[in-house]
Amino acid sequence: MRLDTTFLDELSAEAKNSPRLRMNYNMHDSLDAKAQRLFNALEPGTLVPIHRHRDTAETFFVVRGKLIVRLFNDDKTVIEEVILSPTDDCFGYHVPKNQWHSVESLESGTVLFEVKDGPFIPIDEKNILTIKN
C-alpha cells in the first residue's frame, strides 16, 4: 500500500465530512492486535477529550499539518504544551502511560501517525478528565 499525498488527501476529506471532524485509518489487522498503528486525520474544531491510557504509552508523529499537544496533571492544570509540525523543530511526541493529554488541530489537513500497545481498549469515563468552564 502506498502512503502518499493522495492517501493523506483522501483521509483528510473523510475527516472534513465526518461529524466528529476526524477520521482514522487502521494499519493493524484487528482491534486485538498487540500493536495499534493508525493514521488519524484531525480537522480544526474536532474535540479530543483530555484522556489517559492506563495500560500503554502512546507515540505519534505529525505527517502533515500542525497541532498542539497538551499534558495535564491530576489537578486539571496544563503542565506542558507543545506545537508539532513536520516542518518545524518538533514533529512528534511520546506520551507515557497514565499521562493526561489531549491534542488540538491547528490546520486543516492535519494527519498523525499513532502507535500504542494493543489490544484496543475504549476510553471509559474514569480515563477522561473533564474541565468545567
Structurally, how many domains does the chain consist of?
Answer: 1
Whole-number pLDDT of residue 133: 61
The CATH number for 74's domain is: 2.60.120.10
Q: Is 26 exposed, middle or buried (0-12, 13-18, 19+ CB in 10 A)?
A: middle
Range of the domain at 96: 5-129
Residue 2 backbone class (left: φ over 0; alpha: ψ -120 to 50; beta: rest):
beta
Beta bridge partners of 62: 112
Whole-number pLDDT of residue 124: 87
pTM for the model stands at 0.91
Whole-number pLDDT of residue 4: 97
Whole-number pLDDT of residue 95: 98
**pLDDT 10s per residue in the chain (133 long)?**
999 999 999 999 999 999 999 999 999 999 999 999 999 999 999 999 999 999 999 999 999 999 999 999 999 999 999 999 999 999 999 999 999 999 999 999 999 999 999 988 888 889 999 877 6
